[in-house]
Structure formats: structure tokens, C-alpha cells
Amino acid sequence: MKAGVVTFPGSNCDHDVYNVLSKIFSFDTDLIWHQKRHLNNYDLLVLPGGFSYGDYLRSGAIARFARIMDSVIDFALAGGLVLGICNGFQILLESNLLPGAMKVNDNLKFVCKNVSLEVNNNKTTFTNHYCENEIIEMPVAHGEGNYYIDKKGLNSLIDNNQIVLRYANQSENPNGSVENIAGISNNKGNILGLMPHPERCSEDIISPGRRDGYRLFSSIVANLKAGGEQIG
Amino acid sequence: MAENGWEKEGLTKEEYDKIVDLLKRKPTDTELGIFGVMWSEHCSYKNSKLVLKDLPTEGECVLQGPGENAGIVDIGDNQAISFKIESHNHPSAVEPFQGAATGIGGIIRDIFTMGARPIANLNSLRFGNLNNKRVQYLFKGVVAGISSYGNSIGIPTVGGEIYFDDVYEGNPLVNVMSVGLLDHADIATATARGAGNPVMVVGAATGRDGIKGASFASDELTEESDEDRPAVQVGDPFLEKLLLEASLELIKSGALIGIQDMGAAGLTSSSAEMASRGDSGIEIDIAKVPVREEDMTSYEIMLSESQERMLVVPKKGKENVVKDIFEKWGLHAEVIGKVTDDGMLRILNDGNKVAEISASLLADEAPEYTRETKKPEYLRTIKAVNREKIKSDNFSEDLLKLLSSPTIASKKWVYEQYDHMVMTNTVVGPGSDAAILRIEGKNKAIALTTDCNGKYCYLNPYRGGAIAVCEAARNIVCSGGRPLAITDGLNFGNPMDPEIYWQFKNSVQGIIEACQKLKTPVIGGNVSFYNESPKGAIDPTPIIGMVGLLDSISEQVTMDFKKEGDLIYLVGKNIDELGASQYLKLKIDKVDGIVPQLDLDLEKRVQKTVRSAVKEDVIKSAHDCSEGGLAVTLAESCFENGLGINVDIDEPISDEALLFGESQSRIVVSIAPDDLHKFEEITVSNSVPYMKIGTVQSREYKFNELINLDVGEMKSKWEAAIEVSL
């Protein structure tokens, strides 16, 4: 299994997810420099968290134009597995690989804490190690995680079962996102963007008793080992 | 130059005369400006050096003591930790957001120039009364600044402490401690050696921001300080992140001789200090420095404190290695001069000499002053508090009020704005006695804390200084660690005031004695004088940042009670004292009286006892008694798991002192009932006073017949207090 984690200038969770993929799940993992043009044959691409290019404009708005992104988009449109975490999710939105947009958190403050999530769709490549409607816990850490999509777009997300993760309820929603959305996939199911950080809760030592991020990666691994068939 | 040009540069007539004497001529404008910042308190420690030289700086674990950008301690396996604390008080007082942000930027650069990757930051903050609108503005601004810079650069903010007290109203304290991890082989130094080696400036271009910030930091704050806002720099965490990555890559490349952060006094201090450390000279042409503003004078370029810049001396012929690495990260790297062997700092402007001063004159020959000391008048009138005036008629209500006082209340509102998990090493984050970080790929971990109770230091500077060290060590021990070393952030008023200098001297003496006793050397630090506003000086606040080591991550301990039925013990003893307590602040709105006693031998035994018990794996929770006393300590241990206590203590001391007195050297631990004998054996063998005080139970907080409260109610008041006051 081969995975690539894109490093943009200002990415700061690239090593965290690299460590989880390579050390816990034995992916042959590359950090891919943003100025590269071509991708090797990856089974999984990750756009990590951080503040790409400082995020002084809208989060992800500059990263979308990074040299590597053309290849990332080609890879995604060809059905390759792409996971965007936090800033990575924002970049996927800016690249139109996922629908909707991200606004500043409704209380205007950065928030870093554990939140409860509901697995709204456990039939994706990324989530089939969770139970349906299972309540899990993951950390969030962002200033712009207030996901927005218009009514029509929202209906389409719902109809196609693209809302993968929701904050468990209104009081768990740390940013004011529409419908408590925490993570969505594309219609085809090969691209997942989420605000929570699964790489921060994949090891017992830093997340005792609730490695809920682990199962997101183990879902991917199981699917790849089963021959890369897309589920859902 | 005007007749009294020295005054503009913050120098005295005597210092000016000394300069003329040493140079054997009058200095040029640029030279005088250079002397002004290099001989400022901020850069030269001229008022503190003679007192600081007695600090113990050596120990088994010390790989680098004071004198470099930051100190380094050994943690085994050829790994080391570099750490240091630094203040950014004055900038934060006039521009809280940028002041705090650039404070972080500065200290991070100190860490990575040592070759270490910064892995954690802690913030020690002091503000005035949170009911004051201006204080709220400063508080929110500082927190937002830390959040913005620290989160963006991707270094977790894992701990620190915040006190609120009127004395900090006009002059808040923002001290940042940064901690980095490195391999012994990668230790870098800020030394310029080898005549002919190039001198390069890397990172951001130089602008007019922050000119003479070091001098600004070395003056009192006045009504007009707002006009100094241009002396506050503007931070760019994105650029710093690139600089961090590029610098660490450069250090690994082997092309490097020395590297130094351009912090206070920018190009001036970095070049003079690098040359002086290497017994070398440096010649630079400021026309070659990349600038971002037009028509900058040599004076401005030399004294700019534009952020996110470094001075680098690579081996001759390796200029392109430096350039390639920095270009990869989109940064400037320009050769601006060379190392020489004549010991002079020579500044050219397009080939024309504008300054020529001996580097060691600037870096090492600053005057050293033994300031006059006088025992402060107020100390003569301090006496024990009148117990009649502070009797409680409702202990439950008093406890709730203490829990919702901003100094004791949960700082969740603050630390939830900080990314405390990035880098995925945070085992125990903010809100605990000490933060714990695993060392990736190893079984060990480090524990980090900052501590200082300024009120104790005001009422008894010597004991206050010693207590700060002891409490820091106690916090490390409560987390399962072994205290290694400290960094001190010494915040005081104007050193020209003999009473202030007396406070300074005595606080440092206290630190020295405690450090010697606990064998925790000082490996670096920062002195910040002139912390005064028109309302007067701050309380003396010598903040202690400490690093401890856990040989095995399995030895980690947290402060929260784990299970109903567990036994609660107090290690140490309760003394009938209420002086300097937060309870007094509550009752008479004044922290007064006699600072809690400190017996360093007892302190050491208490810590040793808990450490032994940790090693024997009998401790389920440990929490040290500090502000708010035993009642607050017990409450804080209840919150995380929503458990209660049934505590019954029979002590021949007043109820107020038992509940809220802040006697030192006390640690509350909980153990499983099965471990009772094992635990008591350990305490007896260490001949330390201890008592079984009760058991962990569900939800109900019961302390003698004095307090009976629902833990849920207590917790919600404690958690909401800060947000409610804003």
C-alpha cells in the first residue's frame, strides 16, 4: 500500500498523518512537495491540516493553485482515494472536488477540543469500520470550519448520502456548520473531507481508551486490501 | 548629533563618556544607536548580571547553560531538550495581539537556532482585574495573538498559567516558554568563526518595524507608551514556519558554522554577539541587506527588529547550499559580509564605513551595575492577618466563590483557543499540574510547567522565589516526572528603585537556594525590568519554567480522581496559616499577611515520597496544593471524572486555614485501597508527614461538616467563570 501526503508551505499536520500511515498502518508513505508536478502510483492521497500559505486569504484558497494540485485533481477524478483533513478539507472545497464552502467559526474563535461525532454514513471506504449512527469522538482544531452549502446543494448531499460525519448535536458543533456537518464525501465516494483530526486519535498513548481515528484509517486499509473496491 | 544624543538612545551621560573613552573618539550616529541597544538592559543585563552570576548553572544533565540562544539538557539516548522562557510584556501592553504573537515568534527562533525542533510552548500570563474593560481588551488580545501565531506555526501550546491581580493592570506580563527536541549531534551554536567565512542574512526582508524595541522594553510604561506602538513588531507565523523548516534543514546539512536569531536589536546584536562568542570580527555591508522599504538609513537597518530573520555563518564555499535550502522554502538568503579576525564589528554602507566597534565591547563590555538596595518600607508593616476579620460563615459558598475567581477558575476558555494537540505528542495537555509529551519513538516522556505566585514574592521576595521553584518541581513530580532544570523569566519594576532592586536580589537568592536544594540548575532565562505603569510597579514575578523527565511514559500521573472507593492521602502537613492566600483576596480584597512557610528539606522529602510511590506504581492521582488551598485542590481532582469526596480531617488548626490556607509542600494523592500498606511504608521510610484524609465517592463533595456540595454545580461554576466575566 502506497500513500502520499502533500506538504504545502504552512502545512503542519503533514508529519502527524505521515507517522500514522507509515508507522501504524505500514503504508509506504511519501511526503509530496507542493511544487512537484507528477504523482507516483499511490493508493491514497492525503491533504493534511495546517495553514497552507499562511491562510491569510480564505483557507485553502492559495493552496488550490499549488503546482501539485492539477495532479491531485486528476487522481481524484480518476477515482483515487483522497482524504482531506481540516485544511485539506478546505483545499478540497476550494478545488471544487467537494461541494460547498467554509466560513469562519460562528464564534469567530479558533477552537481546539474533542467533540462527539455521529457516523452518518458508515458505508464509505473511509468509515466502514464504524457502526451506523455510532457516536465517536475526535479532536477538532480550526478557525474556519463553519461548513456552508445552499439548500439545493444540501439536498443533493442528503439524497446521495454524502454527509459522512456530523457533530453529534448542536452543542457539540464547534463552528456553526450547516446541519452539523463535520465531513462529506463526493458522490462517487472516493474523496472524503473532514474537519476533525483522525490522526490525533489513532494511538492509545495520546488518546487513551478511544482511538476513534484509528478506525477511519483501518477502514481504508481494509478496503485497499480487499482489492480497492469502492463500497457504497 | 545633538549634545545629548545618548539620551535618545537610552544611555546615561556616564555611559556615553565611557563609550567615548573606549573608542577614543566620539561615536557616529549609527554607532551610538548600536551602543544604545547593545547596552540596554534587554540585551546587556547590565543591572542584573552581578546578581544572576550566583545562579547554579551546572548539573549532570546540562549540555548547554546560559549564554547561548537557549539552554540544553540531556534526556538520554543521545537526545536533548532545549528550552527557554522570554518576556514580551511591553509590546503586549500597547498592542496585545502582535505583542504576544511576536513574543512567541522570538522564543521559537531561540529554540530552533540551537538545532532543536520546537515541540511545545507554554505561556505564563498576568493581567489586572478582569472586570476592567481595558484588561479584558488586553486579555482577549494576548490570547488571540498566541492562538493566531502558535496555531499557525503548528507548535502545540500545552500549558502555562494565568493570574489576575490589580498590580498588572497597566503592565500585563506575557512570558512564553518554548521547548525543543534535538539529537546531541545536531546542537548548533550562535558563533561566528573562521576569517573569510561568509555572513548571510536569511528569512524576511528588513523594514522599519520594531526599531529600538529593545530600548522600549527597557523603559517604564507611561501614558504616552501608546505612541511607541511602532516599536512593536508585526509577526508572520507563516514566514516563521518556513524559516523554522529551512533552518533545521540547514543545520542538518553540515554547511553551518553558526546561526543566530535576529531578535532584540536585530542585525546589531546578532552580528556583535556571534562575533564576540567566536573571538572573531564581522564585516557587513548593509547595502546588501534585502529591505522592504525605500531609503532606509544604516541606523534603521542596523536597529530594525523586523521579525522572522536570522544571521547565518556557513562554511566558505557553501553559500549555495544555504541559498538552495532557503529558496526551496521561498526565502531570501543573501551574503552581506564576512567573518574577520580583527575582532571588530565593521558596518559598511555600499563600501563606506559607517561604524566600527570592537564586537566584544558591545557584547561583553557593557557596564555592570551593582544597584542600590533597600528593604521596602511596606515589608516593615506586614503582620499576620487578623483572623476575626476573615471568619467564614458559609464555607460552601466561599469555596464556590474561590472556584469562580478568575485566577483559580478553569482556563478552558483560553486553552481551547490554542492548538494543544498538533504534532501528536500531547499525552496530558493544558489544565493539569504539568503537561506531558511523549518522545516519539521512545518509551520516555517529558513534563513541562511554569509557575510563580507574584503575591508571595511581593510579601516575601526570598521565600516567594524559592516557592516558585518548589511549586514547579512539585508539579513535575505530580505528573510522574523527575525535575531536570529550569529557565527563569524574571519580571520586576524599575531596577533604579532600591526597593525594587531589593525585591529582585532577594527573589533570585530564593531561586538559588531552592535550585541548589532540588538540584535543578538554571540553564537560561530572561530579565524584564521596568514593568511599571503610572499606578506603580508590578509584584515581583520571577516565573519558573521547568522541564522534567519520565523514564517511562507508563509513570505518568494525572490530577483527577479515578475511582469511587479509592483512598485519599495528604502528603505533607497542614499548618495554621492563611497569609497571602486567595481566600484573603476573597474576604478582604487584599492579599496580605505572612507568606506560607517553606521548609526545603520537607519539600524535598515530600517530592521524593511521591516519586517513589509513582515508581512503585501505587499512585492513581496526584495534585499539588496551591492557590485556594486544600479545598480547591480536592475540588480540582474531582472535576475531570465527575467524582466526589468524603473527607474528614481532624487538625488542631482553624477551619479557614485547613480549607483554604496555602501551606507549601503538600500533595494530595489517591490510591487503590489494596495499596494502603505499600503506600504507607513508602511514606514512613521517607519520614514524611502524611495522613489519610478520606475516600473518593460519587458526585458529592463533603469536607468535614464544613462543606457539602454537588460536584456538577462546582464544576460548572469553575468552568464558566472566565467566559462569564468577559
Of A9, A15, A205, the CB nearest to B329: A9
- Which listed residue (A144, A172, A197, A201) is catalytic? A197
B547 domain-assigned: no
Measured between its terminal Cα atoms, the distance across chain A in Å is 21
Please give the full DSSP string across B33-97, using - where no structure is assigned.
HHHHHHTSHHHH-TTTHHHHTTS----TTEEE-BTBSSEEEEEETTEEEEEEEEE-HHHHHHSHH
pLDDT, average across residues B80-84: 98
Has residue B313 got a pLDDT over 50? yes
Q: Mean of the pLDDT values across residues B493-514?
A: 97
What average pLDDT does the segment B426-446 reach? 97
Residue B289: CB partners within 8 Å, gap ≥ 6? B201, B206, B267, B301, B334, B336
Residue B119 and residue B181 in contact, taking contact as beta carbons nearer than 8 Å: yes
Predicted local confidence at residue A232, as pLDDT = 35
* Helix, strand, coil distribution of chain B in percent, nearest 5: 40, 25, 35
Residues of B with a Cβ under 8 Å from any A Cβ are 144, 147-148, 151-154, 236-239, 241-242, 329-330, 415-427, 438, 440, 553
B419–A112 CB contact, under 8 Å: yes
Is B534 a member of any domain?
no
Contacts of A16 in chain B (CB under 8 A): 422-424
Confidence of residue A230 (pLDDT cuts 50, 70, 90): very low
CATH number at residue B98: 3.90.650.10
Of A16, A51, A205, the CB nearest to B152: A51
3-state secondary structure of B559: coil
Give the pLDDT mean for B134-140. Answer: 97
B317 belongs to a structural domain: yes
Residue A123 to residue B623: CA distance in whole angstroms: 45
Closest CA to A111 of A196, A181, A186, A17: A196
Domain coordinates of chain A in residue numbers? 2-225
pLDDT at B676: 97
- Name the fold adopted by A2-225: Rossmann fold (3.40.50)
Condensed to tens digits (0 to 9), the pLDDT of residues B60-80 reads 999 999 988 999 999 999 999
Last residue within a domain, chosen from B301, B332, B363? B363
Q: Which residues contact A37 (CB under 8 A, 6 or more apart)?
A: A67, A68, A70, A71
Contacts of B465 (CB under 8 A, 6+ apart): B457, B506, B507, B508, B509, B510, B511, B514, B542
Give the up-direction half-sphere exposure of residue B464: CA atoms within 13 A in the CB hemisphere.
Answer: 26
Predicted pLDDT at B635: 98
In a domain, B34, yes or no: no
Instruction: List the beta bridge partners of residue B619.
Output: none
ipTM score of complex: 0.96
Structural domains counted in chain B: 2
B427 vs A203: CA distance, rounded Å: 10
Cα B192 to chain centroid distance, Å, stands at 28
A vs B, Cβ pairs < 8 A, gives 81
- Which of A46, A44, A182, A172 has its CA nearest to residue A119? A182
**Alpha-carbon gap, residue A194 to B423, rounded angstroms:** 18
- pLDDT one-digit tens code per residue, A10-44: 999 999 999 999 999 999 999 999 999 999 899 99
Q: Which residues of A touch B330 (CB under 8 A)?
A: 9
Task: Let me know if B42 is a catalytic residue.
Answer: yes
Q: Is the pLDDT of residue B58 over 50?
A: yes
Contact list in B for residue A109 (CB cut-off 8 A) is 144, 147, 417
- The residue type at B239: L
Q: What 3-state class would DSSP assign to A63?
A: helix
Task: Give the residue from A11, A12, A20, A33 with the most B CB atoms within 10 Å of its CB, the best one to mutate.
Answer: A12
The CB density around residue B601, as the number of other CB atoms within 10 Å, is 9
Look up the domain containing B610 and give its range: 404-409+557-726
Please name the residue of chain A whose CA is at the shortest distance from the CA of residue B426: A206
Q: Do A200 and B424 touch (CB under 8 A)?
A: yes
What percentage of chain B reaches a pLDDT higher than 70?
A: 97
Question: What integer pLDDT is reported at residue B225 of this predicted model?
Answer: 64
Question: Using one digit for the tens of pLDDT, what is the confidence trace for B576-617?
Answer: 999 999 999 999 988 889 999 999 999 999 999 999 999 999
pLDDT above 70 for B640: yes
pLDDT in tens, A116-130: 999 999 999 999 999
Residue B505 is assigned to a structural domain of this protein? no
In this model, does residue B3 exceed pLDDT 60? no
Q: What is the pLDDT of residue B217?
A: 64
